[in-house]
Structure 1
Amino acid sequence: MRKRITVLVVDDERFSREELVFLLKEYEILEVIGEAESGEAAVMKTLQLQPDVLFLDIEMPKMDGLEVAKSVHELKKVPEIVFATAYPDFAVEAFRHEAVDYILKPFEEEQINQTVTRLERRLRTEPMVEKSSVPSKLAVEEEEEITYLNPADIMYVFRDGRVTKIVDQMRTYETKWSLKEVEKRLEPFSFFRIHKSYLVNLQYVERLVPWFNGAFQLELRGRKEQLSVSRNYVKELRKHLEL
């Protein structure tokens, strides 16, 4: 379990703030500690609350998001910046402010997931518990029995309708856990989400094959099937796989 990343959400539109707060609260690693409806309030609350991250709208009256980013860089504790806006035209200028990411409205789950992953890497902290306390087995309930799977033997996990299926070297298991719950349980091990419906053990990846529209197909050692890699995950996947 890691220390939670504190977040301040800044947007002059209430519904946009509420939507983003709702999406961010899905991630246990994040803690939304405040909201601000203007640039001026954002600077004041950043000073008071000292969040780790600002999710910052750009188009705001009086003091816009770019001005906020410039102002908070003068503070003793400088938060990471994620620009969250409906306008793609400010991207180049935004990254001059050392932004971690630039996400566009309407927000998409994959987009938010990538941003949270980047924040975790950027703000990686020491575990709050010793590694020895991390469970070594994944428990899967089947009828009246419980099967304990070694994470190293699990090749991939995917969502099929209302059921999550876990594929190891011998067979396929089913669980009522959501894919996100399984992903959290396997967090200490070498698993990576390649698609909104697929989670893969990187130790079994053998080949990445171009498909179409920037997407790829993934081949696993000892398996005939190919798994689809969403183009949104390709860049991060390659970073994890390559030396």
Structure 2
Amino acid sequence: MSDPRPQAPARAVATAIVAEDESLLRQSLVEQLLRAWPELEIVAECEDGASALDAIAELQPSVAFLDIRMPGLTGLDVAAAAAEASPDTRIVFITAYDQYAVDAFEHGAIDYLLKPVDLERLDATVRRLQSQSGVGLDAALIEALAARMRGAAFGPAEPLTWITASAGRETRLILVDDVAYFRADHKYTVVVTAEGEALIRKPIRDLLEVLDPTVFKQVHRSTIVNLRAVAAIVRDDSGRGTLRLRNREETLAVSAPYMTLFKHM
């Protein structure tokens, strides 16, 4: 016989992802979090921005702890895309750049932890997260913070202008401006130009650190495209997209989480 008494609704379990490229720091933060917030379920641990964005879009966590400086997409890039991919996810940045970031982080929807993570500060962050439900991120604030961090904290850096790549027994000197896109291929990266393909050993996530971010955009975990080589962007009903290129017949798939990076195009 069933119990007719009304049942209390199940309490939603708080979930989180932790994105930090240094494995020891990532492991330490996970352990500290589980001590400070035993009920929290860590649903993914990520070592780069691309995997963090994919995890946020797929798992829709309550909280995302994002290292600002990660290979490939930075924590700022991931947060900007997550504002649409998972609007209820709260963002906590992990940073070593206190002097550039703290005033912007204090606006409320964004929190921060300084490296090395202080337990007292972590406890305060946990209490804030527990007392507030998910709220939409201020995309303009993230954009302004990104410009400030890159210009001041990271310092100016000259983007890559040419690369040496292998095509059979031949070694080619390729101008980066001539590259249509880069595609990950196991331990190598395929460099695709209008004339053909070549291979380099540098992985995708390291390439993003040295390419001009205003020209080259990651559109998939395995693909970086030169925006100057794009003829058109086609959006479908599922939120994904397809890029048509100027001098190549193939098209490139754009994962749904990355479509937000193209909203101003």
Verify the 8 A CA contact 1:205 1:219 in the aligned structure 2. Answer: yes
* In 2: Cα distance, 1:192 partner to 1:198 partner: 9
Unaligned segments of structure 2, at least 5 residues: 1-28, 49-65, 75-94, 97-113
Match of 1:35?
Answer: 117
Matched, 1:128 2:192: no
CA distance in 2, matches of 1:164, 1:193: 14
Give the Å deviation of 1:228: 0.3
2:251 equivalent to 1:230: no
Is the contact between residue 194 and residue 237 of structure 1 (CA under 8 Å) also seen in structure 2? Answer: no
Q: Which amino acid is 1:128 matched to?
A: G
Distance in structure 1 (CA, Å) of the matches to 2:218 and 2:189 = 14
Aligned partners of 1:237 and 1:145: how far apart in 2?
Answer: 36
Give the CA deviation at 1:200. 0.3
Matching of residue 165 in structure 1 with residue 190 in structure 2: yes
- Take 1:162 and 1:222, find their aligned partners in 2: how far apart are those partners? 26
CA distance in 2 between counterparts of 1:219 and 1:190 reads: 16
Distance (Å, rounded) in 1 between the aligned partners of 2:201 and 2:219: 21
Greater RCO, CA 8 A, separation 6+:
2
The answer to whether 1:12 aligns with 2:28 is no
C-alpha distance in 1 between matches for 2:219 and 2:197: 19
Mapped contact 1:217–1:226 kept (Cα < 8 A) = yes
Q: Distance in 1 between matches of 2:181 and 2:171?
A: 19
Q: Secondary structure at the match of 1:223?
A: coil
Distance 1:181 1:36 in 2: 30
Matches of 1:178 and 1:200, distance apart in 2:
14
1:139 is matched with which residue? Answer: 164
CA pair 144-215 structure 1, distance change in 2 beyond 3 A: same
Contact in 2 for aligned 1:217/1:228 (Cα 8 Å): yes
Instruction: Note the alpha carbon deviations across 1:76-111, whole angstroms, 9 max, x for none.
Output: xxxxxxxxxxxxxx222x64xx5889xxxxxxxxxx
TM-score, normalised with respect to structure 1: 0.55
In 2, the alpha carbon distance for the partners of 1:36 and 1:20 equals 20
| Aligned residue in 1 for 2:200 | 175
Compute the TM-score of the two structures, normalised by the length of structure 2.
0.51
- Displacement of 1:176: 2.1
Summarize the Cα distance change of 1:180–1:212 in structure 2 as closer, same or farther, 3 Å threshold. Answer: same
Cα RMSD, aligned residues only? 4.2
Structure 2 counterparts to residues 59-98 of structure 1, below 5 A: 60=126, 63-65=127-129, 90-92=133-135, 95=137
Name the amino acid aligned to 1:167: V
Q: Deviations over 1:165-184 (max 9, x none)?
A: 11012110112221112222
Q: Does residue 186 in structure 1 map to residue 186 in structure 2? A: no
Residue in 2 aligned with 1:76?
none
